Amino acid sequence: MDSFPTLAFIGGGNMARSLIGGLVRTGLPATKIRVAEPVPALRYALAADFGVAVYADGPAAADGADVWVLAVKPQVMAQACTALADLAQTQRPLVVSIAAGMPSARIDGWLGGAQAVVRTMPNTPALLGAGATGLYANPAVDAERRAIAETLMKAAGLTVWIADEALMDAVTAVSGSGPAYVFLLAEALQAAGEAEGLPAEAAKALAVQTLVGAARMLGESGEDAATLRQRVTSPNGTTQAALEAFAAGGFHELVATAVAAAVRRGRELAAAG
Ligand SMILES: NC(=O)C1=CN([C@@H]2O[C@H](COP(=O)(O)OP(=O)(O)OC[C@H]3O[C@@H](n4cnc5c(N)ncnc54)[C@H](OP(=O)(O)O)[C@@H]3O)[C@@H](O)[C@H]2O)C=CC1
Ligand SMILES: O=C(O)[C@@H]1CCC=N1
């Protein structure tokens, strides 16, 4: 990736750290990455862990970088972009946003207009190259810049282009927030194991490896989730008893309600930003 453009991350929090870790892991030289992060401890940790150049403010990091990755919270996006507007008008970078909910047109407007904006939604397994990212490009993004955005996010794992920007809130609700749902299931399974008398360490090890093993089967077997589930479920056995309890508790409806709440929140964040 030696010929890859220079990147400036605006915001060096949790998601930026995962993306930077993924990029460095796949061989992007740290000298290609700059990060603007106002919190000194976060800034210094990024410099120490990955060898990237760090700055206290956005314009200092962005000046001269080919790609700006906007990695601040949606609530501060307006302020972060406005501070970059003069530079954006003279330098015309490729702008890649990772913010939940925030429409590309608003980012474009805060940057002064006529900007090439790719709105993306990655997730934290990016740190291991095991992420999933949805991408939407506004009409100002040409084929070459589309390819740059895709290469950038491929360092984080799977990429999926989304043609209709309105669907980016659904991407956020499924895969952006999704790792938290899996971690919640791990917590619940561990707690249930403990409630049934397992020592805490054993419950944790069994719950974690079960999720890791099942996820690998989903990813590597080529079989769909329903088929794999049925193979675990002996007629009138233990799994059937558990699955019936899930169904009686409205598991599918609960997941749908949770995803709908995340979609709604994405739209609210756009309105509040
Ligand atoms: N966490 C996740 O799993 C995912 C997050 N996202 C998106 O990524 C974005 C960042 O989320 P996340 O990493 O969790 O949030 P964090 O709060 O961890 O990171 C954002 C960082 O940006 C800093 N910041 C605030 N204003 C500026 C500025 N003007 N210039 C530079 N840095 C600034 C913040 O400092 P301070 O705290 O002082 O404000 C904070 O350290 C959000 O828009 C979110 O929607 C997308 C996918 C997944
Ligand atoms: O919780 C959030 O708003 C962000 C977006 C997706 C994951 N984390």
One domain for residues 24 and 109: yes
> Binding site annotation covers 72?
yes
- What total number of domains does the chain contain? 2
One domain for residues 255 and 197: yes
One domain for residues 18 and 130: yes
Full residue range of the structural domain in which residue 249 is found = 178-270
**CB distance 263 to 173 below 8 Å:** yes
What is the spatial order of strands in the sheet that 53-55 belongs to? 53-55, 33-36, 7-10, 67-70, 94-97, 116-121, 131-137, 157-161
Q: Which of 168, 192, 210 is the last residue of a domain?
A: 168
Q: Is the residue at 173 inside a domain?
A: no
What's the CA-to-centroid distance between 158 and ligand 1, angstroms?
22
**In the structure, which protein residues have their CB atom closer than 6 angstroms to any atom of ligand 2?**
100, 172, 176-177
**CB distance 149 to 135 below 8 Å:** yes
- Cα 110 from Cα 84, distance rounded (Å): 9
ipTM: 0.98
Residue 17 belongs to domain with CATH number: 3.40.50.720
pLDDT along the chain (273 residues), means of 10: 90 95 93 98 98 98 98 96 98 97 97 98 93 98 97 95 97 98 98 98 98 97 97 98 98 98 93 73
Helix (H, G, I), strand (E, B) or coil at 64: coil
Q: Is the residue at 208 inside a domain?
A: yes
One domain for residues 131 and 195: no
Q: Which of 34, 37, 72 to mutate to test the pocket of ligand 1 (most atoms within 8 A of CB)?
A: 72
Burial class (CB in 10 A: 0-12, 13-18, 19+), 81: buried
H or E element that contains 157: strand 157-161
Q: Is the residue at 153 inside a domain?
A: yes
